[in-house]
């Protein structure tokens, strides 16, 4: 593929990384952010997420290798870590705590990292546990640190039952917990929140950003 001025930014980003042009991909992202007044949520929604989905298709159709797909994921992880903090609320605006993790056995963590940045922008201190923590340990962590919010990500349908169990367990030790969930496994369901017992499910970051103020209202001190 040749990239032109009309090439959608996610494909231009993907193409840079197919050529192992990491500096080029980073420059493209910087330019995108400059044009969007530093809107990191748009960077996620319009560049990084569709680029990852495209990467999955290219991998499935054997046009890129597994190693290449890992490389693209890792560069994308670096970019989330680099640009996400631009939108975090300042430390004096923190008014609640969230624990963010993948469902047990789930390794797809990039969506959770992006969602965590949206939560941090809304004034939550997010303790990101990432992938691989066992359910009992997550439950105990939620209780010990008196989390206000549990943010859970589940990409593979075979992890839905464990996600539901984790949510039930976490609620049993912390009844006031607000449970937010997202991830590919929930995106095709008719009633995803009931399937896992979450209060709210968002499969795109705009929906999360829009709904957060009303979801948090009454649970956390109002922003001053």
Q: For residue 35, count other CB atoms closer than 10 A to its CB.
A: 11
Calculate the alpha carbon distances from 66 to 18, 69, 98 in Å.
Answer: 12, 5, 33
List 121, 151, 163, 167, residue binding ligand B12 (CB under 6 A): 151
Contact 135, 165 (CB under 8 A): yes
Residue 204 as a binder of ligand B12 (CB under 6 A): the answer is yes
The C-alpha atoms of residue 162 and residue 152 are separated, in whole angstroms, by 11
Contact between 126 and ligand B12 per CB under 6 A = no
**Where does the chain have alpha helices with state H?**
9-18, 22-35, 40-43, 49-60, 66-83, 110-121, 135-144, 160-173, 184-187, 192-196, 205-216
Q: 172: which residues sit within 8 A by CB, 6+ positions away? A: 139
Read out DSSP for 74-112? Answer: HHHHHHHHHHGGGGSPPGGG--EEEEEEEPTT----HHH
Alpha-carbon gap, residue 121 to 128, rounded angstroms: 14
From candidates 10, 16, 108, 195, binder to ligand B12 by CB under 6 A: 108
Confirm or reject binding of residue 163 to ligand B12 (CB under 6 A).
Answer: no
Decide: is 211 part of the binding site for ligand B12 (CB under 6 A). no
Q: Which of 124, 147, 164, 208 binds ligand B12 (CB under 6 A)?
A: 208
Smallest distance from the beta carbon of 179 to ligand B12, in angstroms? 9
Using CB under 6 A as the binding rule, whether residue 75 contacts ligand B12 is answered as no
What x/- string results for residues 175 through 194 when contact with ligand B12 is judged by CB under 6 A? -----xxxxx--x-------
| The one among 41, 55, 122, 163 contacting ligand B12 by CB under 6 A | 55
Among the listed ranges 1-9, 16-24, 56-64, 85-93, the one in contact with ligand B12 (CB under 6 A) is 56-64
Distance of closest approach, residue 49 Cβ to ligand B12, in angstroms: 5
Return residues touching ligand B12 (CB under 6 A): 44, 49, 52-53, 55-57, 60, 69-70, 73, 105-112, 114-115, 151-153, 155-156, 180-184, 187, 202-205, 208
């Amino acid at each position: 593929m040749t990239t032109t001025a009309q090439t959608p930014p996610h494909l231009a980003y993907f193409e840079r990384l197919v050529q192992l042009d990491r500096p080029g991909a980073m420059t493209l992202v910087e330019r995108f952010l400059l044009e969007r007044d530093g809107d990191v949520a748009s960077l996620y929604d319009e560049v990084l997420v569709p680029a990852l989905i495209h990467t999955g298709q290219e991998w499935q159709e054997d046009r890129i290798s597994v190693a290449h797909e890992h490389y693209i994921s890792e560069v994308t992880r670096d970019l989330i870590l680099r640009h996400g903090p631009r939108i975090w609320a300042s430390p004096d605006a923190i008014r609640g705590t969230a624990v963010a993790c993948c469902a047990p056995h789930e390794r797809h963590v990039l969506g959770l990292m992006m969602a965590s940045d949206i939560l941090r922008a809304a004034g939550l201190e997010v303790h990101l546990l990432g992938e691989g923590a066992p359910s009992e340990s997550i439950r105990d962590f939620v209780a010990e640190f008196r989390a206000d919010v549990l943010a859970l990500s589940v990409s593979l349908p075979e992890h839905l039952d464990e996600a539901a169990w984790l949510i039930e367990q976490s609620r049993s030790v912390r009844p006031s917990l607000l449970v937010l969930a997202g991830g590919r496994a929930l995106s095709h369901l008719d009633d995803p929140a009931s399937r896992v017992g979450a209060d709210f499910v968002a499969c795109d970051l705009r929906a999360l950003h829009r709904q957060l103020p009303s979801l948090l209202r009454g649970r956390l001190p109002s922003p001053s």
